Amino acid sequence: MPSTAYQAVNGQPPTEFLNNSATPAATNAVLIFLDDTEKEEIYSITSGFLAAFTQEAAPIIVSTSLINNIRSTVQPSEKDPLKLFATAKELYQKETPTAQEKAIIKGIIASTIQFDEQAANKWIIKKINDYLYLLLPNDYLLSKNITPDKVQQFSSANTVTDTEKALGLKVNHLTTVETKSIADPINSPEVADYFIDALNDIFVTTKEYPNQAMIPNMSVFIHGHGFLRTEICDLSLNQFKIFLSFLEKIQTKLLIYKSCYAASTNTSLIYQDATAGAQATYSFPIITIALTDTPTRTNSIALMLKQGVMQPYIATDYSCFVAAITASDMIEYSKAIRCIEPTLLESNIPQIRYPGLPWFSILDYDIVASIGGIMAKTRTQPLNIATFFAKQGKRAAPYATLLYAHDIPFELIIDTKMPTTAANDPSLATTGNCYVPIFVSMIPGRAVHTLKKISSSCNTALDIMANFYLEELYYPKLFSIDELTAPFSAQMSKALSTDAPSGTLTNVMVSIAKGTCTTYFTYQGTVYIAFGCAQEDDEDFGPEQLPAVANEKQRAAYESLLKKYGKHGTLKQLEPEHTYLTTETAAAIQQAQEKKIATLKQQAASTRKPLQKKCTVYKRQSKKRALAKARFCQRTRTYR
C-alpha cells in the first residue's frame, strides 16, 4: 500500500490523505452502481448511474437492470423541447402522479439522455456477466494515454495486459458488446452476488503486477440500496465484508460508499470481527455517506432548458469527484464529498474510518457539534454550542448536535445563528437568524439520553423540542431533559395560557419512534403533551399538534417515564423488550415496522417516495431543519 502520513490538528483527525512517495503512483477510479429493483421509475441508484454516464468521468460497473431501466423506456413522440418541458413541469408539480404520468416523466428524461447513441459514440461496453457490465468512457481512457482500440482488444491469455495493468481493470479479458445485446437477466437477485463472484474477473490484483514497483492506486465509489441489519449497497452484510477484504488485494487508495442504513447498527455488524472480538481494520481510508440508522437521500434528475435545448439537470458532479479522489499527491476528503453531496443533509453527514483505526469519526467537524463520553464525564459548566465549537473566530453553525454520551450533566446553550451570507434569506424562520442544530443520538439501537438543561435566548421552546426528530430513524430514542428554558411563540403562549414571553419547562420527555414523536413536559405544575414532530416540508417547526393539557391516562404514561428515566443522572439501561412509546401507539408502530421490513425487498420500487411532496423541474427549493429553513437546494431528491 502507498506510504501514508496522518497528523492530528488540534486533536482532531486529518481531512486529507498524504502520499509520501517521491513519485506517487497514478490513481484510477471506478464508480459502481448495483441494483435490481428499480424497473418502473428513475429512482436514486438509476439517477446516480445516469449522472455518472452523462458526465463521462470514470469507468462504471453497473447492474444490467439499471441500464435497461433507461433503455426500455418509451420516449415521447413529441419533439418540441418547449412543449416537453411544459409537460414535465406540470407533472412534476403533481402531488400523486399516476403510473402513466410517471412513465411520461421517465420518457422525457430518457429522451434527453439518448443512452444508446451516447454509449455508441463515447463509451466502450464490456460484459462481465449477464447481470453486470463495465462501461469505459473514451475521454477517460485518452486521459490515461490509452487509445480505445487497445481496450477493445480481447485476450484469453493467463496474464494481464499492459492496458489492464494501467487501468487496474481486466478490460481485455472481457467481451466488448453493443447496447442492443444487453438483455434483462432471467431473474432478479435479492442482492448483487453476481458482483462479488466476479471481483477477480474485474480487478487486477497486486499479485498480478510482477516486479512492478509503481502499482497504480484505485479509488472506489459504490452506491446501492440498503436495509437495516441485512444489506448495504445491494450487498448482504457478509458480502460487503468480502468486498472489503478483496480491496486489500488491490492497491486501494480510498473507498467511499453510499447507501441507506450505512452507519451505526450496520457498521457494527460489518466491521465486528467475531473471531477476534474486536473491530476489523483496513489499510485504506473508508468513507460512508451516512450518519446513523436512517435512510439516506440522494439527488434525482430534473430537467432544464438551455438555449432552447432540454437537458437533464443533475447536481451531483462526478467529474469534480473523480478529479478529487484520483489526485496524485493528496485527496481532500471534504472537497470530494461536496462534489457529490453539494447540499448535505443530516442523514448524509459523512464519516471516515482511517487506515488501521477501528472506528469511524465525523469527516468534517466544522458541520457538527459533538458531545462525547469524555466531555460528558469531565465537564460541569454550561456549554454554548456557538462559541465552544467556534473555528478561527467564527461562531459555529453546525448542522447537528451529535450525542455520543447517554448522560449530559451540563447545560447546553443553543444560540446558534445562520452564517451572514444567508441572514437575509426570506425563508428564514420567524426567530430571525437563529436555528436549532438537530439533536442526533449516535448510540446504535434503542437509546436513552438524559440532559441536565437546554436553554436559548432566541430559539423557541417548540423549535428546540421539534429538533430531536430525525426523519425515518429506525430505532426508538428517548430524550429526558430536566429543564428547557426558551422563548415562547405566540401559539405556545396561547396553549400554555400564559402571557409570559419565555419560561422554563421541566421534566421534558421527547419520545421518538419511527414516524412518531410524543413530547411531555410540566409547566407551572401542569402536565402537557404534544403528539408528532414537524416534517422537513412543514411551514412551522414544532410538534404537529400544539401542547395540550394531558389527560389522566397520558399523565400516567408520563409518570411512568419519569420514574424510569426522569431527572438527570438516574439513567437505566433499556430492557430489550421495553418500549417507551405510549400504549396507544406502541403496538401499531411495532406492527408497521415489522410489516415494512418484511415487504420492503419485494416492494422496493413502489415504496420509495419523494422526499418532498411537490417539486418543479426548473427550480426546486427545499428546507433544511438544521439551518432553520435557509434556502439551500434547487433540485429534486428521493429516498434511496
Asked whether the predicted pLDDT for residue 87 surpasses 90, the reply is yes
Statement: residue 338 has pLDDT above 80: yes
pLDDT value, residue 210 = 84
Q: Which helix (H) or strand (E) holds 324?
A: helix 318-325
Would the pLDDT of 594 be above 90?
Answer: no
pLDDT at 306: 87
> Hey, which residues does 29 pair with through a beta bridge?
219
For a pLDDT cut of 90, what percent of the chain falls above it? 65
Q: Residue 66: which pLDDT band, with cuts at 50, 70 and 90?
A: very high
The pLDDT of residue 307 is 86
Whether 57 and 318 have beta carbons less than 8 Å apart is answered as: yes
Who has greater pLDDT, 222 or 627?
Answer: 222
pLDDT, the chain, mean: 83
pLDDT winner (highest mean) among 10-14, 228-232, 301-305: 228-232
pLDDT of res. 470 = 85
Check pLDDT > 70 for residue 352: yes
Whether 122 has a pLDDT exceeding 70, the answer reads yes
Distance, CA of 534 to CA of 540 (rounded, Å): 7
* 568 pLDDT tier (thresholds 50, 70, 90): low
Among 16-20, 85-89, 219-223, 361-365, name the most confident range: 219-223
Q: Grid cell 422525457 — which residue?
A: 108
At residue 223 the predicted structure's pLDDT band, cuts being 50, 70 and 90, is: very high
Q: Residue 439: exposed, middle, or buried by beta-carbon count in 10 A (0-12, 13-18, 19+)?
A: buried
Taking residues 257-284, what's their average pLDDT?
Answer: 90
The C-alpha cell at 65 is: 437492470
Q: Looking at per-residue confidence, does 382 or 585 come out higher?
A: 382
Cβ atoms within 10 Å of 433's Cβ, excluding its own: 19
Q: Residue ranges per domain, the chain?
A: 4-362, 367-585
**Residue 525 vs residue 275, higher pLDDT:** 525
Mean pLDDT computed over 277-282: 87
Mean pLDDT confidence for 173-195: 94
pLDDT attached to residue 418: 80
Q: Which contacts of 414-423 are long-range, i.e. CB under 8 A and separated by 24 or more positions?
A: 414/385, 414/454, 414/455, 414/456, 414/459, 414/464, 415/384, 415/385, 415/386, 415/456, 415/457, 415/458, 415/459, 416/385, 416/386, 417/386, 417/458, 418/627, 418/628, 418/630, 422/627, 422/630, 422/631
Model pLDDT, residue 213: 74
Q: Is the pLDDT of residue 276 over 90?
A: no
pLDDT tens digits, one per residue of 282-320:
999 999 999 999 999 888 888 998 888 899 988 899 999
Q: Average pLDDT of 242-252?
A: 98
Residue 355 has what pLDDT?
97
Site of grid cell 434525482:
300
Closest Cα to residue 226, out of 600, 636, 610, 603?
Answer: 600
Structure confidence at residue 329 as a pLDDT band (50, 70, 90): confident
Q: Judge whether residue 325 has pLDDT over 80.
A: yes
pLDDT in tens, 377-434: 999 999 999 999 998 778 888 999 999 999 999 999 999 988 655 444 444 433 448 9
Of 6-20, 72-86, 96-110, 478-492, least confident by mean pLDDT is 6-20
Q: What is the mean pLDDT of residues 317-325?
A: 97
What mean pLDDT comes out for the span 521-530? 95
- Say whether pLDDT at 212 is over 60: yes
User: Is 195 a residue whose pLDDT tops 60?
Assistant: yes
**Model confidence band, residue 111 (pLDDT cutoffs 50, 70, 90):** very high
The pair phi, psi for residue 423, each rounded to 5°, is -65, -25
> Strand 447-455 and strand 330-332: pairing?
unpaired
Residue 220 has pLDDT above 90, yes or no: yes
Q: What is the pLDDT of residue 274?
A: 65
Lowest-pLDDT choice from 34-43, 272-281, 461-470: 272-281
